Structure 1
Amino acid sequence: MDKLEMMKTFLCVAQEGSFSKAANKLELSPQLVSKYVAVLEQKLRSRLFHRTTRKVTLTEAGKLYSKRCIQILTDIDEAESALADWHQNVSGELTLNAPMSFGHRHLPALLADFRRQYPDVDINLTLTDDKIDLVEAGVDVALRIGALKSDLLIAKKVADMRLAMMASPDYLKRFGTPKTVDDLRNHVFLNYSFAEQDQLKQFLGINVSELNIQLPIKANNGDYLVEAAAQGGGIVLQPTFIASDCLREGRLVEILPQEKLTDLGLYLVYTNRTFLPNKVRSFIDFTANYYDGVPEWEKPLLNLSPTSDSKS
């Protein structure tokens, strides 16, 4: 039997001074009410009521037990009320994790706008390109670029991530502008070390060894690779959310735009979709709406034309 139900039944009998009145109020049978009280008395090894044909009153043990029951049930009601308020109010600490380059470039504006709408939410943000364990790290939501590979996590795509192959005008002037994939032969390629395999093979299906493509630099940070390319260091394949400024300023130009690269996506990743705290649900919905349509980093590139420079 449910002990809380028995306690509530006991208190109702005490308040009504009658088993039958308590049964009517609780919409239970008088037999069940009597059974609940009898079970309690047996468990407590104490008689809780003085019973007469006209009235039911508490014994000394019954009075002591009723005080504790009232306190216990009040505490439970307050706990449930506090949890209901917690779900209704958007407040508390929101723990986030995001990739270094994306977080540095694009999260300050998003989080500032989010807190303007939800000022009672405090943000605890960690930036790292390592794939951390969300549960072990106590992370509410992680922003991930790429496809979700764990069936234990929930992922919501909130924006497209366009990849572009780029090089500086100076590099292309010195080594020529590739017009086809085969023209990449003997070119220098700056490789992202966190890619699961060679980027050219992963996103273009190119066999690097066959084209004798040089891979002299590998780095674990997209910002570094984009700047290295802008300095004339070689060709780079990176998302436009990193390279947008360099492309807009003309420090980099897009090459092989006709090639259909395997684009990525920006995902919100979390551990469970049920019983989400309001702070988490609000952040997920806010971010999805924030990136609805053309992302901010892509807008300056809409009117840019890819390079038409020829081989020198």
Structure 2
Amino acid sequence: MDRLTALRVFVEVADRGSLTRAADGLDMSTAMVSRYLATLEDWFGARLLHRTTRKLSLTDAGQAALPACRQMLDLSEEAAHLAAQRSREPTGQLRVTTSSSFADAQLTAALVAFQQQHPQVEIVLSVGDKAADLVGERVDLAVRLTNTLDPAMITRPLARCRSILCASPAYLALHGTPQSLEDLQQHPCVAHAFGIGRQYRFVRGSEVIEVPVSWNFHTNETAVLRRAVLSGAGIGMLPTYYVGDDLRAGRLVQLLPDEEPEVLGIHAIYLSRQHQPLALRLLVDFLATRFGGEVAPWDKALAA
């Protein structure tokens, strides 16, 4: 049985001097009051009340326990009040994780903008392309770019991650510009080490087309992949959220614009909807508003 309720029953009985009056005040049956008192006596290992047909009084143990019981009830009410205050005012620390490229290009600025609205929220942002263990690493929120979701996690879509084939003007001047997907096999390509093998994936209607290519440079970091493509290592497939400035400035050239690379989802991932801190709930809503819509904001800027 609930020990906190048992404490409340004991204090009520001591104040009213009667099981019946305590039952009325607590909106319980007298039998239930008796059961709570028995539970409390078992917990304390001592008899708390002398009971006769005419009189009820505290034992020595009951007299000694009563002030402590009142204090525990006061502390529980104070804790509930503090919890209610925290649920209305976003405070505390949020541990967030995402890929380093998305953190650099989009998420860091978004988190700073969120903190400007809620300055009492502390953000701890960790980056890496490997999926974090939310439980083991005590992560509150993961922002992941994937089409493979763990059904044990709670997820919310934030945006779509489009990619483009691109190369540097210097590379194209030396090696020519591919005119078809088949032409890609004649060019060296730069690959992400966590990719899906020696192939690029494109979408035509409802069909996914896998195009075999030859890698000549591998990396596990999107920033390094971008730098290799800028340096003329070959053709690369890079997310639009990361290379918009390069395309607008002419440092990179989009290739085969009529071909659509496979699109990934950008998802907010967390452990539970129950007892969710207000700061986390507000952050997820904020990111969904900032990044959401039919077209992601970085793709709108690129189109403009």
Task: Indicate whether the TM-score tops 0.5.
Answer: yes
Letter in structure 2 aligned against 1:297: W
- Secondary structure of the 2:273 match is coil
Letter in structure 2 aligned against 1:81: H
Matching of residues 53-132 of structure 1 within 5 Å: 53=54, 56-132=56-132
Contiguous gaps of at least 5 residues in structure 2: none
Question: Is 1:189–1:214's contact at 8 Å kept on the other side of the alignment?
Answer: yes
Higher alpha-carbon deviation: 133-142 or 71-80: 71-80
Offset, 1:2: 4.2
Structure possessing the higher radius of gyration over alpha carbons: 1
Q: Which residue of 1 aligns with 2:141?
A: 141
Q: Which residue of 2 aligns with 1:277?
A: 277
Could you tell me how far apart the structure 1 residues matched to 2:32 and 2:234 are?
83
Q: Which residue of 1 aligns with 2:209?
A: 205
Q: Which residue of 1 aligns with 2:298?
A: 297
Offset, 1:166: 0.9
Question: Is 2:166–2:255's contact at 8 Å kept on the other side of the alignment?
Answer: yes
C-alpha deviations, 1:191-231, integer Å up to 9, x for none? Answer: 111113234157763452xxxx4421111222222232233
Offset, 1:15: 1.0
Question: Is 2:198–2:214's contact at 8 Å kept on the other side of the alignment?
Answer: no
The structure carrying a bigger strand percent of its residues is: 2
Cα pair distance change 1:175/1:49, threshold 3 Å? same
TM-score normalised over the length of structure 2? 0.87
- Secondary structure of the 1:84 match is helix
Could you tell me how far apart the structure 1 residues matched to 2:117 and 2:270 are?
22
Question: Is 1:192–1:199's contact at 8 Å kept on the other side of the alignment?
Answer: no
Could you tell me how far apart the structure 1 residues matched to 2:40 and 2:132 are?
50
- Secondary structure of the 2:136 match is helix
Letter in structure 1 aligned against 2:250: G
Could you tell me how far apart the structure 1 residues matched to 2:200 and 2:259 are?
12
Cα pair distance change 1:78/1:199, threshold 3 Å? farther
Number of corresponding residues = 298
C-alpha deviations, 1:87-112, integer Å up to 9, x for none? Answer: 33211111111111111222232111
Could you tell me how far apart the structure 2 residues matched to 1:40 and 1:299 are?
65
Offset, 1:37: 4.2
- Secondary structure of the 2:272 match is coil
Offset, 1:284: 0.7
Could you tell me how far apart the structure 2 residues matched to 1:182 and 1:19 are?
87
Question: Is 2:181–2:211's contact at 8 Å kept on the other side of the alignment?
Answer: no
Offset, 1:161: 1.0
Offset, 1:282: 1.3
Q: Which residue of 1 aligns with 2:242?
A: 242
CA RMSD in angstroms comes to: 2.5
Could you tell me how far apart the structure 2 residues matched to 1:96 and 1:108 are?
10
Contiguous gaps of at least 5 residues in structure 1: 304-312
C-alpha deviations, 1:149-203, integer Å up to 9, x for none? Answer: 3222222210111110112233223322222212223112111111132341577
Offset, 1:38: 5.9
Cα pair distance change 1:207/1:165, threshold 3 Å? closer
Q: Which residue of 1 aligns with 2:165?
A: 165
Could you tell me how far apart the structure 2 residues matched to 1:51 and 1:172 are?
100
Letter in structure 2 aligned against 1:17: G
Letter in structure 2 aligned against 1:261: P
Cα pair distance change 1:15/1:83, threshold 3 Å? same
Confirm or deny that 1:10 pairs with 2:14: no
Cα pair distance change 1:7/1:205, threshold 3 Å? same
Q: Which residue of 1 aligns with 2:230?
A: 230
Could you tell me how far apart the structure 2 residues matched to 1:18 and 1:149 are?
59
Cα pair distance change 1:50/1:59, threshold 3 Å? farther
Letter in structure 1 aligned against 2:217: I
TM-score normalised over the length of structure 1? 0.85
- Secondary structure of the 2:261 match is coil
Could you tell me how far apart the structure 1 residues matched to 2:35 and 2:233 are?
85
Identity of aligned residues (%): 34
Could you tell me how far apart the structure 2 residues matched to 1:79 and 1:188 are?
63
Find runs of 4+ consecutive structure 1 residues off by over 4 angstroms: 34-45, 201-204
Question: Is 1:190–1:229's contact at 8 Å kept on the other side of the alignment?
Answer: yes
- Secondary structure of the 2:64 match is helix
Q: Which residue of 2 aligns with 1:48?
A: 49
